[in-house]
Structure 1
Amino acid sequence: MSPLLLGVALAVLALGPALGPGFVLRYDLLFVPNPPIFRDTGGFPRAVPSDAVVAVLSAVLPDEAVQKGLLIAIFVLAATGAAALVPGERRAARLVAAAFYAWNMYLAQRLLLGQWALLLGVAGLPWAVRALTGSGAGRVRAWGGFALALLPAAVGGFQAMLVSALTLVPIAVTRRRVVMGVSTLVLLSLPWLVPALGVGAVTDPAGVDAFAARADGPFGTFGSLLSLGGVWNAEAGVPGQDAWWPATARLLMVLAGIAGYVRLGRTDRPGWWTGLAVAAGTGFAIACLGAFEPGRDVLKWAIGVWPGFGPLRDGQVYLAPLVLLTALGLAGLVGTAAKTVAAVGVLAPVLVLPTFMLGAFGRLAAVEYPADWPAVQRIVNADPEPGALLTLPWGAHRAFAWNGGRVVLDPATKLFGRRVIWDDTLRVSLPGGGVLSVRGEDPLNRRTGDLLTAPGHGGLPGVRYVLMAGGENQVPGEFRNWTSIYKGADLQLLRR
C-alpha cells in the first residue's frame, strides 16, 4: 500500500458518518451553505483566510463536498508528508511514519474540537520541512517550492502558521536558510497578520486558566501531554481515552518514537534532525507553561503586558512538532524490519486509539441545515441597506436538536455578508467545578453585551436585524416593536 492510499483509508475510517450527506458541525468545525466570500468581520482574524478560501471553493463546488474534501486532505497530506521525510527505499518505515502522523491523539482531539484549519497546516508541515531542507535546487526554485509547501498552513491561518513557524525556524537556522524561511512565513501570514495588528482586539489573561492543558488519562497532565493529548476541552476527548491499557500503549509509543529519533540522530542524521528536536522540545515546554506554576502566572503577566502573547494560552497546540518527531522516530525503529513487524507498526496507531474510528463513535456526523437557515440568509444578504445583525440568545455556541445536540459555534457568525454581533465570550467548565468566563476579543461585541445587560439601554445603534430561535414568547421586550419579517420553526428574523 502507498502512503497516499493509506491516508485515504485512514480518513474514511476516522470520519465514517461524517462523509454522509450534509455538513459536519462541531465546535469550530462550522461550515454553512453558500458562504459569502466577503464578510464584514471583527475581532481577532482567527478564520482568515480559511473562511474566504472555503467561500471561493464553494462558489464552484458543492458546499458539502468542500468540507469533506478538506477533512480528507488533512489525513492524506499528513500521511504522504510524513512518509516523504523517510528515505524512499524504506517502504515499511514510510508507512509507519504515515500511519502515526495521520492517526494520533493530537489530531483526534483537535478534530473533535473542530479545528480543521489548524490541522490542515499541521498536515502539510512535513512537506514544508522537506522543501526547506531540500538540496540541489536553485534559490528561486527552492523559495517557490517552500512557499507552495506552506500553502496548507497559509490557508489555515494564524494558529497553523504559528505552529509552522515554531517548527520551521529552528530548522532554517540549522540549515542556514533563515532568510528564506522567515521571509516566506511572514509573507504568507500577511492575510491574518495585517488585520490582527489593526483590529484592536483584546486578550483576557483568564484564558490562561481556561485553555491550560488538562489530564485526560491516568498519567496526569504531564503524562497526557507526553502522550500527545491534554487538550483543555473535555468534550474534545476520544471515547475511553482515560482507560489504562490504551493510555499506557500510547505513552509507550511516544517514548519509543523519541528513542528512535535519538537513535536516528546517532546513525543517519538528516538535515532536519536538530531543528525538529529543538522545535519539539520548545513546543512541549510551551504546552507545560500554562499547565503548571509558576509558568501560568508568567504567561498571565506576559499577556497583560502585550496581548500578542495570547496565542500561547492554548499551549497543547504546540505539540505538533513532537507528533512529527515521534512519527519519524518510529519509522527509524522499523527501518528495514520484516513485513510482520512493519505491519504491526502500521496498525499500532489505530489499535491504541480505536475509538477515533467512525467519527469517534458518532461524535462526528453529517446533518442537513433546516430550511429556515438558507431562507433567512437569502433575505439578509439581499438587503442593500447597511446595519449589523445581532444573533440571540447571547452566547457563542449552540446545541441544536437537528444536529444531534452536538455543540457548534453559532452558524449566524458565518452565514451573512454584513457585520454579525455575537457573544464571543467563552465559558469553560473547570475540572474542580465551576465555570470560567473568558471575555471576548471583539470590542463591538463586548460593548453590545454590556448594553444588553444594562436596564433601559435605549436601543442598539447600528443594528438592523435581530436573529433568534423561533417562538414568539422568546422575543425580548426591547425588540417587541421591531418588525418580524420571517418566522419559522427554527428561526425568527426581526428588522428595525
Structure 2
Amino acid sequence: MNAARAERLLPWAVGAGAGVLALGPGLGPGFMLSYDMAAVPEPPLSQVTLGGGGGFPRAVPSDAVLGALGTVLPGDAAQALLLMAVFTLAGAGAGRLLPGGWAGPAGSTAARAAAAAFYVWNPFIAERLLLGQWAMLLGYAGLPWLVPAVGRVAAAARPAGVRDAARLVPALLPAAAGGFSAMVLSALAGLPAAVLGARGAGRALRAGAVLAGVVAALSLPWLVPALGSGARTDPAAVELFAARADTPFGAVGSLLSLGGIWNAHAVPQWYGLPVLAACRLTLSAAGVAGWVWLVRRGGAPGFGAGLSAASAAGLGVALAGTTEPGREVLSGLIGLWAGFGPLRDGQLYVAPLALLQAAGVGAAALWACRAAADSEARVGGADAVTPPGGRDGEGHGDTGSRGRPRTPARSDRAAAPSRSRGLRTGRGRRSERPAASAGERVGALLGALLALAPIALLPGLLWGAAGRLDPVDYPDEWRRVQRLVDEDPRLGRVLVLPWSAYRGLDWRADGRDLVVLDPATKLFDRRAVWNDDLRVGDGTRVRLAEGEDPLADRVGRLHAADLGIRRYTASLGELGIRYILLERRAAEPLSGADAAAALGPLAGDNRFSSDGTGPAAVHDGARLLLLEVPDRHVDPPNDELTGLEGTAWFVTVGTIIWSLGGSGSSLVSMRTGPPRGAVSRKENPT
C-alpha cells in the first residue's frame, strides 16, 4: 500500500478500531441496553415509527432506520452496525479534515490518526453513548463531513445555488437518519460555516439559505409531526438538564474537556480521577491551540471561522445553564416557544468544540513535523519545509481566519520543496521519494502518541464501557408477547405499566440491574402509550421534568382520578388503547400511593371483572401480564400517517435521490477546495 492510500484509509481504520474497542462484547449476539438505547428484537417498521400516531417524534426517523435494517438483519446486528457506523464515519471525517501536503507521508498519516482518535474517543461521545443517545451521535459523526462541505459551497467563486444543495445532502445523511437532535447539531455547526465562509453579505445569506433549505427538507419526517403533535416542553427542566461538574475543575473545566453531562450515571468509570482529568483538560487545551495555529496558517479554508464561531456559540449555550441568569433566559425562551426546548440540554452543544479540538490535536502533530524540520534545516543550512500556503499563512491557499485569500507575500527566494515528496525532474515527473527525515519521524512519533492519548486518558470507555454495555438477550416471554400483539389485525394502542419511563432490568449475567427506557415502548408495530415524565435525582430529593405527550398526560390523569376498574377500562378504550402490558418485576416493589400512581386501579387485588367489563388476560407469565380491553370499549385510533406527513417523507426521500444524481456521487469529497476567487475548472470532462 502506498503512502497516499495509507493516509486516506487510516482514519477509517482508526474509527472502526475505536468502535471495536469501545463496543467490545456488544458486537456479538445480544442487545446493548443503556438509558435511551432500547433496541428490541425484530424492530418494527410501521407508520408509527415513520411518525404517525401523534406525540413528539423524538425517535423519528431513527427507529424507522433501525426497523429497515431489521428487515434484513437480526435486531442486535442492526444495532451494532449503526453504532459502528458512528465511530467509523466520525473517525474518517475528522482525519480527513486536516490539509494535505503540510508534512511528509509519515507525519501527515500520524496527524490524521491523532485527529480521528480524539474525535471518536472523548468524554462527549462516551457520556452520550452511555446515555443511549445513539441517534444523536449519528449527527455528531456527520459534522466533520458537513462543515468542510458547507465551507466549499460558501467559498466557491459563484454564489450558492441548487447544485450546491445537491452536494450538501450526502453530508447531512447521517444527521437525517438520526433525527431531531442530530439535525439541531448539524444546523449549529453548519450555518456559521455557511455565513462566515462567504465573501459579502449577499453571498453569506444565500449560502445560509441553501443550507437551511437542505436541513429543512431532510427534517420534514420529524418536523411535520412535531408541529402537529401539541407537544409541550417544561421550562423548569432547564435546571435539571444543565451541565454540571463531573471533574475536579468545575462545570467550565468539565465542558472544556468535553464532559459535564447532566446525568451522573452516564459518566464512565475512573472518569473523575484528578490525574486523568487534568491530562484530558491539557489535551483539550492543546487541541484549541493547535486549531488556532492551523487556522492562522490557512489550514481550514472556508470553514475555519465558521467552526470557531459554532464552537463558541455551543459552549456559550452550555455555560448558560450553569448560571442563574442564563437559566432564566433559557427558561423564558422555552416558555415563549416550545421549539427552544432543545436548549435545555446544554452539554449537547459542545459537539462542534469536540471537532475543533480534534482538528487541533492533529494540527499539533503537523506543527511538530514542521518545527522539527525547521530545526533540522537550520542545523543543515537548508531551507525549512513550508506548507502549500507558504509560511505563517502567506501565499496561495491561505484563507486567513475568515477563509479569505490573502495576497501572496513577495520573497527573494522560493521555498524549498518538501523532502518527503521528492523533487521535480524533467517534464514534471518526481524523483524517487526519499526516506523520511528525522524531523518527520519526530512528528510522526508525536502523532502516534497523540492518537493513543485519548484512549489512555479515558479507559472507562474500553470494552463495552468497562462492562456497562455488555449485551443481554430478551427473555422468550417478551418475544411471545410481541408476536401476540403484532399478529392482532385490530387497531389499538398499547398502554405500558408501571407508569414510569425507565426500568431496572435483571437480565445481566452478573446479576446487576441495567437501567434503560422501557423496551416495551419500542417493541410493537403500533403506538405505545407510556409516561414520558422524567424523574431526576437531585441530592436527597427527586425532581420531575414534565413529559411532552398530551395522550400520556391524559392517562396520568386517569390514574390520579381514582376510577374503578370498569370506568378506568372504558376510559382507556376511549383513548384508543386496546392492550395493557404490565411488567411484574417492576411493579412488585410498589405499594400504597406509589402503586396507585403507577398502576391505577390495576394496583388492587380485584384487577378483573367477572362480567367482562374489565380487561381480560391474554398472557399471564412470570415477567409480563398482557391484558386486553374489551373490544366494545375500544375506539379504534387512526395512527396512520396523515397526508401531510406522507408528503413530508416523499419530499425527503425525493431530495436524497435527486441529490445523488445532482452531486454525481453518494460520497462527500473532503479535498480542500481552491481559495476563493480562483478560476474553476472542469475536472471530469465528458
For residues 192-231 of structure 1, what are the structure 2 equivalents within 5 Å?
192-231=222-261
Question: Are residue 100 (structure 1) and residue 118 (structure 2) matched?
Answer: yes
> TM (normalized to structure 2)?
0.70
What letter is aligned with 2:554? R
What letter is aligned with 2:191? V
Mapped partners of 1:303, 1:131: distance in 2? 32
Residue 17 of structure 2: aligned partner: 9
Residue 363 of structure 1: aligned partner: 468
Mapped partners of 2:338, 2:208: distance in 1? 26
What letter is aligned with 2:21? L
Mapped partners of 1:179, 1:399: distance in 2? 46
For residues 227-238 of structure 1, what are the structure 2 equivalents within 5 Å?
227-238=257-268
Aligned partners of 1:20 and 1:365 also within 8 Å: no
Q: Alpha-carbon deviation of 1:386?
A: 2.4
User: 273-282 or 180-189: which moved more?
Assistant: 180-189
Q: Alpha-carbon deviation of 1:70?
A: 0.6
Mapped partners of 1:312, 1:41: distance in 2? 26
C-alpha spacing 1:64/1:257, structure 2 compared with 1 (3 Å): same
Residue 422 of structure 1: aligned partner: 530
What letter is aligned with 2:525? G
3-state secondary structure, aligned to 2:324: coil
Q: Alpha-carbon deviation of 1:210?
A: 1.1
Q: Alpha-carbon deviation of 1:88?
A: 3.4
Q: Alpha-carbon deviation of 1:180?
A: 2.2
What letter is aligned with 1:122? Y
Q: Alpha-carbon deviation of 1:140?
A: 5.4
Aligned partners of 2:99 and 2:299 also within 8 Å: no
Residue 412 of structure 2: aligned partner: none
Q: Alpha-carbon deviation of 1:141?
A: 5.1
C-alpha spacing 1:137/1:488, structure 2 compared with 1 (3 Å): farther
Q: 1:387 aligns with which of 492, 498, 505?
A: 492
Q: Alpha-carbon deviation of 1:137?
A: 11
3-state secondary structure, aligned to 1:333: helix
What letter is aligned with 1:279? A
Residue 144 of structure 1: aligned partner: 166
Residue 196 of structure 2: aligned partner: 174
C-alpha spacing 1:472/1:112, structure 2 compared with 1 (3 Å): closer
Q: 2:41 aligns with which of 26, 33, 40?
A: 33
Aligned partners of 2:162 and 2:210 also within 8 Å: no
For residues 458-469 of structure 1, what are the structure 2 equivalents within 5 Å?
458-459=567-568, 460=572, 461=574, 462-469=576-583
Q: Alpha-carbon deviation of 1:174?
A: 1.9
Residue 434 of structure 1: aligned partner: 541
CA shift digits 1:259-298 (9 cap, x unpaired): 1111112222422100000000000000011121210011
Q: Alpha-carbon deviation of 1:162?
A: 0.5
For residues 26-425 of structure 1, what are the structure 2 equivalents within 5 Å?
26-38=34-46, 39=48, 40-89=52-101, 90-134=108-152, 142-176=164-198, 177-270=207-300, 271-335=302-366, 336=369, 338=442, 339-403=444-508, 404-425=512-533
Aligned partners of 1:128 and 1:149 also within 8 Å: yes
3-state secondary structure, aligned to 2:215: helix
3-state secondary structure, aligned to 1:35: coil
Q: Alpha-carbon deviation of 1:19?
A: 1.5
Q: Alpha-carbon deviation of 1:130?
A: 2.5
What letter is aligned with 2:608? R
Residue 550 of structure 2: aligned partner: 443
C-alpha spacing 1:21/1:253, structure 2 compared with 1 (3 Å): same
What letter is aligned with 2:147? V
Mapped partners of 2:196, 2:237: distance in 1? 34
What letter is aligned with 2:84? I
Aligned partners of 1:287 and 1:315 also within 8 Å: yes
**Structure index of larger Rg:** 2
Aligned partners of 2:98 and 2:299 also within 8 Å: no
Q: Alpha-carbon deviation of 1:221?
A: 1.0
3-state secondary structure, aligned to 1:134: helix
Mapped partners of 2:164, 2:577: distance in 1? 50
3-state secondary structure, aligned to 2:507: helix
User: 282-291 or 378-387: which moved more?
Assistant: 378-387
CA shift digits 1:413-456 (9 cap, x unpaired): 111122211111100011x3311111110011011011112212
3-state secondary structure, aligned to 1:416: coil
Mapped partners of 1:472, 1:63: distance in 2? 24
Mapped partners of 2:157, 2:473: distance in 1? 48
Mapped partners of 2:142, 2:587: distance in 1? 49
Question: Are residue 476 (structure 1) and residue 603 (structure 2) matched?
Answer: yes
Aligned partners of 2:311 and 2:352 also within 8 Å: yes
User: 409-418 or 101-110: which moved more?
Assistant: 409-418
> TM (normalized to structure 1)?
0.96
Identity of aligned residues (%): 50
CA shift digits 1:43-73 (9 cap, x unpaired): 2111011111111111122211110011111
Q: Tell me the C-alpha RMSD between the 2 structures.
A: 1.9
CA shift digits 1:203-236 (9 cap, x unpaired): 1112111101111010111111111000000110
Q: Alpha-carbon deviation of 1:463?
A: 2.2
Aligned partners of 1:41 and 1:420 also within 8 Å: no
What letter is aligned with 2:42? N
3-state secondary structure, aligned to 2:34: coil
What letter is aligned with 1:253? L
Aligned partners of 2:27 and 2:77 also within 8 Å: no
User: 59-68 or 320-329: which moved more?
Assistant: 59-68
Mapped partners of 2:316, 2:219: distance in 1? 24
Mapped partners of 1:366, 1:272: distance in 2? 40
3-state secondary structure, aligned to 1:186: helix
- What are structure 2's unaligned runs of at least 5 residues? 1-5, 102-107, 199-206, 370-439, 589-601, 610-614, 630-686
Mapped partners of 1:293, 1:367: distance in 2? 42
C-alpha spacing 1:172/1:473, structure 2 compared with 1 (3 Å): closer
Count of residues paired in the alignment: 495
User: 74-83 or 256-265: which moved more?
Assistant: 256-265
3-state secondary structure, aligned to 1:437: strand
Aligned partners of 1:19 and 1:365 also within 8 Å: no
Aligned partners of 2:530 and 2:552 also within 8 Å: yes
User: 385-394 or 451-460: which moved more?
Assistant: 451-460
Question: Are residue 494 (structure 1) and residue 657 (structure 2) matched?
Answer: no
